[in-house]
Amino acid sequence: MGESKSNNEVVTIGRRKKASARVRMTLGSGKFNINGVSLETYFPSLSLKKVISFPLTISKSEKRFDFNVTLSGGGKSGQAEALRLGISRAICKFDEKMRTPLKSASLLSRDQRMKERKKYGQAGARKRFQFSKR
């Protein structure tokens, strides 16, 4: 998974659809640095901020860690869910006791659903071209 831990720094990876999040977590005051900008600038939507902060709420560590995140690929929603998985894995690596509450909230399992590819001879992944009998 490409995870490492060195003197209060944890590096993990979270993925969802085509999005990938490389999370570097250190002890701090709750700051987010996502691709060089703050959390509020990168994710202005309140619902996506809730998705991202859910693992921190479960583990009761909202103002305990600083996050330096590199996001790539996918859309904003996929990136937010990839970041949520990366944060959950980082918290679990930092404190093994948090594994049970994070796992019971389904935050440690990767959502493997991907977009189905378009097939040749069809209009889309499942859609067919219009059929005419006569």
Number of domains forming the structure of the chain: 1
Single out the residue of 113, 98, 110, 116 nearest to residue 21, CA to CA: 110
- Domain membership of residue 12 as a residue range: 4-104
Residue 51 is part of a domain; what is its CATH number? 3.30.230.10
In a domain, 81, yes or no: yes
In a domain, 18, yes or no: yes
Q: At what angle do helices 46-58 and 76-94 cross, to 10 degrees?
A: 10
Single out the residue of 85, 71, 67, 72 nearest to residue 10, CA to CA: 67
Does the pLDDT at position 2 exceed 80?
no
Does the pLDDT at position 6 exceed 70?
no
pLDDT digits (tens, 9 = 90+) for 26-64: 998 889 999 999 999 999 999 999 999 999 999 888 888
Rounded distance between C-alpha atoms, residue 71 and residue 21, angstroms = 5
- 4-6 and 9-16 strand pairing: antiparallel
pLDDT score for 3? 55
Where are the strands (E) in 44-101, listed by range?
A: 65-72
**Mean pLDDT score across all residues of the chain:** 91
pLDDT digits (tens, 9 = 90+) for 105-121: 999 999 999 999 999 99
In a domain, 118, yes or no: no
Return the amino acid letter for 73. G
In a domain, 30, yes or no: yes
pLDDT digits (tens, 9 = 90+) for 59-89: 888 888 999 999 999 999 999 999 999 999 9
